[in-house]
Chains A and B, each alone.
Chain A
Amino acid sequence: MNFTLSAEQKLFKQTVHEYSAAELKTRAADVDHSGAFNWVAVRKMGPLGLLGLTTPEEYGGAGVSAFEAALAIEQLGWGCGSTALSVAAHNSLACAPIALFGTHAQKEAFLRPLASGAGRLGALALTEPGAGSDLAGGVKTTAVPEGDSWIIDGSKMWTTNASVADLMVVLVRTEPGSGTHTLSLIVVPTSAPGVTIAPPEKKMGLRGSPTHAVSLSDVRVPLENLIGVRGNGLQQTLSVLDGGRIGIGALCVGLAQAAFDETLSYAKQRHTFGKAISQHQAIQHMLADMATEIEAARLMVYEAAYLKDEGKPFTQMAAMAKLFASQVSERVCYNAIQIHGGYGYSANFPVERIYRDQRLMAIGEGTSEILRMVIARQVLGV
C-alpha cells in the first residue's frame, strides 16, 4: 500500500477542498438551520465530476477509484455534513447498484443522467417501518409482475434524498417466503403515480440532507427496471453497503477534521489564566489524541478503499473503517466542544452542528452493532 498522492490526485483533492470551502462550508450553518437542500452547490458538482465519482466514464461518470472517491467525500464532509451525506448516498447507494449490476440499457437510461448532474439526485430505499438491520426477513414491500410491469406496494423509511431524487432504487420482495433469495432491486422514478414522499423527518443533525418515509401504492414500472438477477437483491444490497461504508468512513474523517480545525484555531486564540488555552497541557493532550485518532481513521478508510480498488475482499476492512471512524468522529467532536467550553455548546460555533451531524454515522449504512457482527463473522470465519 502506498498512499502518496499523484500530482493529479493532489490537484483533485485541492480542487474539491477549495470547492467545499467556498460552496459548502460557507452555507453549512444556513443549510442546517433552514433544512433547505444546497442545490446551488450541488448544481456545480455535476461538471466537476462529483455526482458520478465511481461511475464509469463511458456512462458520463468520472470513473475514479474508491480511494479517490474517499478523498473527495472526506473533503465534502469537511465542508458540510448534510450535503456530503446526500452526495455520498447518491454516489455509493443510488449510482453504485446500477453501475455494478445494471445492464447496458439500464446504465444508459438511469446512470448517465444521475452522473451528469443535469437532473436531480438518486436514492436507495431499503429500510421499512419494520425492517432496518434485518432486511432479509423484514422487508414487506412487494413487487408482483403483471403483463410487462412490476406492481409495487409497501412503505419505506429513512430514504435519504427521496425528495431531491429523480429515481429510487427500491428493495422489494419478488419471491414468496423470507429466504435469502426472495428480494430484488428495482428502479422506481419518484414521479411514478402511486409514489408518495412524506415531508422530511425532523432530525437531530444532517438537517440539510432530506430523509423521508416513502409509500408505494400500486406503483407500476416496466419489468426491465429490475437490476441484476431477480432474487439476488439482498446480496446486491449488502455488496453496495460494503462500498458505501468506505464513503461513510471518509465522511466521519471529514467531519472530525472540520471539528479539529475549528478547535485548533480556537485553542490558539482563547486565553485563560494569562495564556492561550493551547498552552495548557490538558488541552494539548486532547488535541494530540484528536489528531492521532483522525489520522488512524483516515488510514483505515484508505486501506478499505485500496482493497476495493485492488479487487480484494474488503467487507471486513470497510466495516472496521466505518466503525472506528464513527467512534473517532464522536470522540473528536466531544472534545472539540469540551475545548470550546460554553461556546462549543452554542449554535453560534460550528462544532455544535458537527457533533449533531456526526451522530448518524454510527447508525446509517450499518449500525455499529451490525458492523461488529460483520467483523466478528469475518474474524471467526463463520
Chain B
Amino acid sequence: MKILVFMKQVPDTAAPISVKDNQVDASKIDKYAASPYDEYALEQALQIKDKAADTKITLVTLGPARVREMIMQGLAMGADDAVIIKHEPAKHGELVEPNDLDGLAVANVLAAAAKKIGYDLIYTGTKGVDDDQGWVGIAMGELLGLPLVAGARSTEVSGGTARVLRDVEGGKEKLEVSLPALITSSQATEPRYPTLKGIMGAKRKPVLEWDIASLGVAADALASRVERVALDMPPGRQAGRLLLGEPNDQVQELVRLLREQAKVI
C-alpha cells in the first residue's frame, strides 16, 4: 500500500512572532518545525506500516530550502522517501510572507503532486498551526474526488477499507471509508522519536525536488482568491484591578464585577 503524508513546516510554537504591515515578520522567526498535526498524520501512517511492512510512506511538502530539515526528521522517524516541491515565498516590500499562497492554491499544487506520485491513502494534518485555516486537506480531497474523513485519531486498514476512529464532542465515532481516501489527523498516540538508526539512515533515503511549474498547475489555480485585509497581534494583557475597602465590600464588589462585567457567574 502506498501512503502519502503531506507535511508543512511552520514557525516553532516557541518562536517569537511579530506582525508588521499586516504580515508576519519572517525575519524574526528563528526556528521552524513540522506542524504538530502533520506529525500526528505521519504517526498514524507509521502505525499502519508497523503492522504491514509492505506499506510505503512518501512525505510531500511545499516550501523553501529549510523544509529539508523537517523532511530528514520524517525520514528518520520511518518514512521511505520524500518529495519537496520547491517554493520560495515572495517578498512583499522588505518583508517575506511565508504563506503567500492561499489554501486553495496550495491544494491545487499538492493535488497535482499526489496524482503524479500515485497513492492508496493520503494523510494531512487537520490544519497547519501557523495560519490555522484548515482547508488544504479538505480542498485536496475535493480536487482529487476522494472520500474524506476529517479529524482522525487512529486508522486501521484491511483490504480496501480504512476504519477511522475520531473524537466527537463527549465521545468517539467510528467511520469506514473505502480506499483510496484522504484522512486529516487531529490527534494520534504521541508521535515517535526518530531512532538513532533512523537518523543515520535518513540521508540514504531518496528525496526528490520538484518545481511547481513541472506539475502543470494552471496559472489561475495559483492565484489567491482571498485577500488579507488586516493581521494584528493579540492585545496585551490589561493590568489587574485591586479592590479596596472592607472585606465585606470587597466581596460584594467582586461578585458584582464577576456577574456584570466578566459575566462568568
A19 to B73, CA, bound (A): 14
Interface: A62 (CB within 8 A): yes
A363 to B69, CA, bound (A): 40
**Please, which residues of chain A bring their CB within 8 A of the CB of B196?**
12, 48-50, 62, 64
A7-B72, A7-B203, A11-B72 given; A62·B197 CB < 8 A: yes
**From B192, B195, B202, contact of A49 by CB (8 A):** B195
Interface: A47 (CB within 8 A): yes
Chain A to chain B contacts (Cβ below 8 Å), 13 pairs: A7-B203, A11-B72, A11-B76, A11-B199, A12-B196, A15-B73, A15-B193, A15-B199, A18-B193, A48-B193, A49-B196, A50-B196, A57-B197
Per-residue 0/1 for B162-203: is the Cβ within 8 Å of any A Cβ (1 yes, 0 no)? 000000000000000000000000000000111111011011
A78 nearest CB across to chain B (Å) = 16
Using A15-B76, A62-B196 as known contacts, list a sample of 4 further A-B pairs with CB atoms less than 8 Å apart, ordered by residue number in A: A15-B73, A44-B193, A49-B197, A50-B196
Among A49, A57, A64, chain B packs the most CB atoms within 10 A around the CB of A49
Interface: A8 (CB within 8 A): yes
Per-residue 0/1 for B31-45: is the Cβ within 8 Å of any A Cβ (1 yes, 0 no)? 000000000000000
Chain A count of residues within 8 A CB distance of the other chain: 15
**From A12, A44, A47, contact of B199 by CB (8 A):** A12
Please determine whether B200 and A8 come into contact, CB atoms closer than 8 angstroms: yes
Among B76, B192, B196, chain A packs the most CB atoms within 10 A around the CB of B196
Per-residue 0/1 for B75-89: is the Cβ within 8 Å of any A Cβ (1 yes, 0 no)? 010000000000000
**Please, which residues of chain B bring their CB within 8 A of the CB of A11?**
69, 72-73, 76, 194, 199, 202
B176 nearest CB across to chain A (Å) = 32
Nearest B residue (CB) for A14: B73
A15 to B200, CA, bound (A): 12
A8 to B204, CA, bound (A): 11
A183 to B195, CA, bound (A): 38
A146 to B174, CA, bound (A): 65
- Which residues of B line the A interface, CB within 8 A? 69, 72-73, 76, 192-197, 199-200, 202-203
Give the interface SS of chain B, mostly helix, strand, loop or mixed.
helix
Nearest B residue (CB) for A15: B194
A95 to B195, CA, bound (A): 19
**From B195, B202, B203, contact of A47 by CB (8 A):** B195
Please determine whether B72 and A48 come into contact, CB atoms closer than 8 angstroms: no
A249 to B192, CA, bound (A): 29
A211 to B200, CA, bound (A): 34
B19 nearest CB across to chain A (Å) = 22
Nearest A residue (CB) for B77: A15
A73 to B194, CA, bound (A): 17
Per-residue 0/1 for A78-100: is the Cβ within 8 Å of any B Cβ (1 yes, 0 no)? 00000000000000000000000
**Please, which residues of chain A bring their CB within 8 A of the CB of B202?**
8, 11
A270 to B28, CA, bound (A): 24
Please determine whether A19 and B199 come into contact, CB atoms closer than 8 angstroms: no
Among A8, A11, A47, chain B packs the most CB atoms within 10 A around the CB of A11
**Please, which residues of chain B bring their CB within 8 A of the CB of A50?**
196
Nearest B residue (CB) for A10: B69
Nearest A residue (CB) for B73: A11
A18 to B73, CA, bound (A): 12
Per-residue 0/1 for A40-51: is the Cβ within 8 Å of any B Cβ (1 yes, 0 no)? 000010011110
B190 nearest CB across to chain A (Å) = 9
A18 to B197, CA, bound (A): 17
**Please, which residues of chain B bring their CB within 8 A of the CB of A12?**
196, 199
Q: Which residues 215-231 of A have a CB within 8 angstroms of B?
A: none
Per-residue 0/1 for A55-87: is the Cβ within 8 Å of any B Cβ (1 yes, 0 no)? 001000010100000000000000000000000
**Please, which residues of chain B bring their CB within 8 A of the CB of A15?**
73, 76, 193-194, 199
Please determine whether A19 and B193 come into contact, CB atoms closer than 8 angstroms: yes
A48 to B199, CA, bound (A): 10
**Please, which residues of chain B bring their CB within 8 A of the CB of A62?**
196-197
A64 to B199, CA, bound (A): 11
A15 to B193, CA, bound (A): 7
A60 nearest CB across to chain B (Å) = 10
**Please, which residues of chain A bring their CB within 8 A of the CB of B197?**
49, 57, 62
**Please, which residues of chain A bring their CB within 8 A of the CB of B203?**
7-8
A19 to B199, CA, bound (A): 14
Please determine whether B76 and A48 come into contact, CB atoms closer than 8 angstroms: no
Those 8 A-B pairs whose CB atoms lie nearest each other, nearest first = A49-B196, A62-B196, A12-B199, A11-B199, A15-B194, A8-B199, A48-B193, A19-B193
A19 to B69, CA, bound (A): 17
Among B72, B192, B200, B202, chain A packs the most CB atoms within 10 A around the CB of B200
B230 nearest CB across to chain A (Å) = 31
Q: Which residues 115-152 of A have a CB within 8 angstroms of B?
A: none
A49 to B194, CA, bound (A): 10
**Please, which residues of chain A bring their CB within 8 A of the CB of B72?**
7, 11
**Please, which residues of chain B bring their CB within 8 A of the CB of A18?**
193
A346 to B202, CA, bound (A): 45
**Please, which residues of chain A bring their CB within 8 A of the CB of B199?**
8, 11-12, 15
B255 nearest CB across to chain A (Å) = 33
A15 to B203, CA, bound (A): 16
Q: Which residues 1-57 of A have a CB within 8 angstroms of B?
A: 7-8, 11-12, 15, 18-19, 44, 47-50, 57
A47 to B192, CA, bound (A): 10
**Please, which residues of chain A bring their CB within 8 A of the CB of B193?**
15, 18-19, 44, 47-48
Please determine whether B195 and A48 come into contact, CB atoms closer than 8 angstroms: yes
